[in-house]
């Protein structure tokens, strides 16, 4: 049996990402320094993580979008740089991470629990579940 210890190092840097649990996180397919997080607090945040790793703790996100109900998943587009999708309890939202000043596009759905792009990026796929 493999025993795993997930205790935080007392002296290591941390990302103060969300006020509650993180539902999902994903590194950009084009920029390995760009991390997206989706929190149960209803926020999607972008973080710049240096290639060498964090040397100091951070609370400042590069971008923040919110309020989304029941965020569950994130997916970066595999062939279109900066395109990020976030799935929530009653919505699917597409973000342009290259231009955080623009508004995002949101599609209302019944419920969606997991999303991903096809390998070619031509389809946004999801595992759908009714969440009454």
> Which CATH number do you get for residue 26?
2.120.10.30
Q: Hey, what are 121's tokens? A: 């990026």
Kindly state whether residue 34 falls inside one of the protein's structural domains. Answer: yes
Q: Answer yes or no: are the C-beta atoms of 66 and 19 closer than 8 Å.
A: no
Kindly state whether residue 17 falls inside one of the protein's structural domains. Answer: no
Per-residue pLDDT of the chain (132 residues; tens, 9 = 90+): 445 555 655 677 888 888 888 889 999 989 989 999 999 998 999 998 888 888 888 888 888 888 888 888 888 988 889 888 888 777 778 888 887 766 666 555 555 555 666 665 565 655 544 444
Quick one: pLDDT at residue 112? 53
One-character DSSP codes across 1-26:
------PPPTTS--B---SS-EEEEE
Kindly state whether residue 6 falls inside one of the protein's structural domains. Answer: no
* pTM of this structure: 0.75
Q: Hey, what are 45's tokens? A: 């945040």
Number of separate domains in the chain: 1
Kindly state whether residue 92 falls inside one of the protein's structural domains. Answer: yes
């Amino acid at each position: 049996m493999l025993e795993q210890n997930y205790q935080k190092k007392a002296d290591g840097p941390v990302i103060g990402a969300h006020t509650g649990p993180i539902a999902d996180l994903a590194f950009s397919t084009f920029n390995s320094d760009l991390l997206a997080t989706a929190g149960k607090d209803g926020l999607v945040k972008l973080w710049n993580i240096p290639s060498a790793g964090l040397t100091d703790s951070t609370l400042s996100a590069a971008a923040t979008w919110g309020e989304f109900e029941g965020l569950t998943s994130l997916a970066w587009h595999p062939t279109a740089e900066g395109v990020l999708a976030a799935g929530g309890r009653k919505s699917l939202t597409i973000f342009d991470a290259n231009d955080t000043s623009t508004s995002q596009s949101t599609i209302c759905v019944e419920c969606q629990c997991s999303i991903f792009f096809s390998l070619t990026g031509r389809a946004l796929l999801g595992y759908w579940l009714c969440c009454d």
